[in-house]
Amino acid sequence: MSTNSAFLKEMGITEWTSRDATLEPAQALSGSESTSYPEVNTVTTTAVVTEPLENDTFGIWWFFGNKPQGDAELLFQNIIRVLGLAPQAWSWKNPADKLNPEQLPQDGSPIVALAFGGLAAQKLSGERDGLPELRETILAINADGAEDLPLIATFELNQLIASPKNKALFWQDLLLAKSVLQNI
């Protein structure tokens, strides 16, 4: 089982249908009863995403929240693997620590921040809304010299372990963060 398959299974995503499965033009136009359609790949967690989401953009990921332990740490390690992040491309930060301009990369590399949990997102952004309202929104870190840093609010890792139904929503948050980083 590939790393991605294990991660998807851990997230509770068990069935994928390939978007790449298309009919041959002759088959689509023939309309005959005996038309054979290509096999659509509907399998459990083994297809569609077989390679990590490549960190094809030069950028840095900052993760904020309670440092994961136990099963949450294993889940976090899988997240890093699926995102394809090298050790120098990410760091774990405490939302209570004051951010200052010296922490920003001197080479101008873009940064995206992911806040694990509503409290971390509130602390970093200055927003008062709860996690359901903060998710799926591009927030900004509210700190001196870091005002332009995009922040994505998502679930705490322990919440994901306790409530696997949220893992698909978490995956959407990761994709939003990746998209933000690519467009900086």
pLDDT at 148: 79
pLDDT at 55: 44
pLDDT at 9: 62
Q: Over 60: is that where the pLDDT of 33 sits?
A: no
Tens-place pLDDT, residues 48-82? 333 444 544 469 999 999 899 999 999 999 999 99
Q: How many helices (H) and strands (E) are present in the chain, helices listed first?
A: 7, 7
User: Would you say the C-alpha torsion 50, 52, 56, 57 has a positive or negative sign?
Assistant: positive
Domains plus CATH for the chain? 3-43 (no CATH), 60-182 (3.40.470.10)
What token pair was written down for 87?
């050790």
Tens-place pLDDT, residues 91-128? 999 998 888 778 888 888 899 999 999 999 999 999 99
Residue that the structure tokens 């306790």 belong to: 162
pTM: 0.69
Higher pLDDT, 104 or 171: 171
